[in-house]
Amino acid sequence: METDQDQPSGVSGMTFDELYESYATDVLRVAYYYLGDRQRAEDVTQDVFVKLLLNRPVLYPGREKSWLLKVTLNKCRDLWRSSWVRRVVLGHPAFELFPADDEIGKAADSIALSEAINRLSPEFKEVVLLHYYQGYNVAEISEMLEVAEGTVSSRLSRARNKLIKELKGE
């Protein structure tokens, strides 16, 4: 008997297994960068893929990842807003790093940048992650976040300035 996970998702033709293998780690890492909490990042990844399985959205070939990341960012934003009180009372969660065993030595140089990105406010973090980490251009980010291209450009520029200040220790 064919299960749901064997059936193609929407019109993209990719099965759940293929989508999971291709994009779940990206979804998990973006959620982790956003929330700074591994458990919550896994919960968000779970919610995103459960939504994919249950709703069977129309995913055009080549647009699967952007749909997954859009849903991921929406879920992260909701979680971020709902945990506002806890964040204020308990403080910002520490951004724990997960280098592979053979990467521990090399990771030292990269820690500052990762932590600086994690400390950005959500609106800046979203555009930095989509542009610099996932490689989307301004027009694509504008479509994913449903904001004007000018807003995306402005946020990217301000995020860059903030990161420069942060990394210089100002």
The residues that touch another protein, with contacts defined as CB under 8 A, are 4-5, 20, 24-25, 27-29, 32-33, 38, 41-42, 45-46, 49-50, 53-55, 97-101, 103, 106-107, 109-111, 113-114, 117, 128, 132-133, 135, 160, 163-164, 167
Please identify, using beta-carbon distances, which residue of 4 and 78 lies nearer to another protein.
4
Smaller CB distance to another protein: residue 120 or 144?
120
Task: Please answer whether residues 133 and 33 qualify as being in contact, where contact means their C-beta atoms are separated by less than 8 angstroms.
Answer: yes
Q: What residues contact residue 9 under an 8 Å CB cut-off, 6+ apart?
A: 15, 16, 19, 52, 53, 56, 57, 59, 64
Q: Is the dihedral of CA 149, 66, 103, 96 positive or negative?
A: positive
- Residues β-bridged to residue 15: 8
Tokens of 92: 């910002």
Where residue 83 falls (left for φ over 0; alpha for ψ -120 to 50; beta otherwise) is: alpha
Distance in Å, CB of 148 to another protein, minimum: 22
The least CB distance from residue 167 to another protein, in Å, is 7
20/67 with CB nearer another protein:
20
Would you say 85 or 169 has its CB closer to another protein? 169
**Least distance in angstroms from the C-beta of 1 to another protein:** 14
Of the pair 89, 168, the CB lying nearest another protein is at: 168
CB of 85 to another protein, least distance (A): 27
**Nearest-approach distance from CB 55 to another protein, in angstroms:** 7
